[in-house]
Amino acid sequence: MTKKLYIKTYGCQMNVYDSERMAEVLEGYEQVESPDGADMILLNTCHIREKAAEKVYSELGRYKDLKQANPDLKIGVAGCVAQAEGEEIMRRQPMVDLVVGPQSYHRLPELEARARAGQKALDTDFPEEDKFEKLKRRPKAQRGPTAFLTVQEGCDKFCAFCVVPYTRGAEASRPVARVLAEAEELVARGVREITLLGQNVNAYHGEDGGETWGLARLIRRLAEIDELKRIRFTTSHPNDMEDDLIAAHGDCEKLMPYLHLPVQSGSDRILKRMNRKHTAASYIALIERIRAARPDLLLSGDFIVGFPEETEEDFQATLDLIERVRYGAAYSFKYSARPGTPAAERPDVAADVANDRLQRLQALITRQQRAAQDAMVGREVHVLIEKPGRMPGQMVGKSDHLHAVHVTSDALDVGDLVKVRITDSGPNSLAGRLL
């Protein structure tokens, strides 16, 4: 009898990809949209945001009644909080049956079997074997037109605020042949756009027959797959943006004109305290080079405000950088300490000051985002149709620049790649007319 699996995913696109692979590896389960009536609940966690662990414990508390009503229900915690907390999760929440880190989820079937046998199952190792090699081939079922594909994991940068090197491990790249094989399988199942993922995806250096491929070469090879129409990648580090990858933005037609390139701060003093190993000037110079290769590039970034010891002058430098670069999208956060990181030992900026700075920065980013979106009105863009809209005859997709676009037409199907003229700009999306 098929059992029911509910997965709740926190955090980044890599966790979305990992959740897909965990669902695939747990044979005998069908994935459901609600924890009610599930035979297994799996939380795939992220340790980046503020109070990440406490949010997981709070979520687990919501399942207490379900566990009491169904003693056979198994509850698991996966991902980066699982890696960081380990046995502490089971100590604080005895109803948790299994805990597995992000590098060990290929072992989920044996952990699930142990949990079914009444044992507590814990695996937060960094195993020597490649989890991707141990994972079974992906099922052949048809799927939506877009997909994530992890090509690189881990980080060697050790930014002072970040736990990723401790929860995901050192930088590692998947072999070229395995990436290409998975991409071809996805395309055979109906995928038309692939986003390549990595903690530092542009640090990709995959092996192929004794040769090392960088990300640009991988992208160009993926572009040779006929039915793959679009390629994106995220998240990148400024220090790993090599010349051939910059060139690819100008000469690879299938590489979309959207780049997420976090800077975190515009103050050189704060960047040094963050251990970012780049300066505001070097970042701006890099952006100018990329935009010279692809003038219509839409840029997004990450910003942390209220980093320990940040002054008003430091913050103003960040606003100045944003004004100069002009972002089409951005993610901004108030600094929150991650236990075990160097910055966690430093004195915090006063909460009211950090809150005020975050509001000011987000106001500026919002103005830039809206300006970039409004500037699309009247332009012709390609839209990959992803789903029906809320209105009859309406379909929704993403433009080359990752804007959501609503198109009214009875002739469109999910997976169609069509040309439209943008006719209107709303608060969070565009409207277009089919050409």
**Residue ranges for the binding site?**
12, 46, 80, 155, 159, 162
Q: Do residues 265 and 272 make contact, with C-beta atoms less than 8 angstroms apart?
A: no
Two tokens at 289? 């080079």
Phi, psi of 39 (to 5 degrees): -90, -20
Please say whether the beta carbons of 157 and 275 come within 8 A. yes
Distance CA 264, CA 201 (A): 17
Whether residue 155 contacts residue 197, with contact meaning beta carbons closer than 8 Å, is answered with no
DSSP secondary-structure letter at 306? S
Q: Which residues are CB-contacts of 126 (< 8 A; sequence separation ≥ 6)?
A: 101, 103, 169
SS3 category, 88: helix
Write the burial class of residue 166 (CB in 10 Å: 0-12 exposed, 13-18 middle, 19+ buried).
middle
Annotated binding site for [4Fe-4S] cluster: 12, 46, 80, 155, 159, 162
Which amino acid is it at 209? G
Which residues contact residue 2 at a Cβ distance below 8 angstroms, ignoring those fewer than 6 apart? 28, 29, 30
Nearest-5° angle of CA 117, CA 121, CA 122? Answer: 175
- Both tokens of 58, joined, read 């709070």
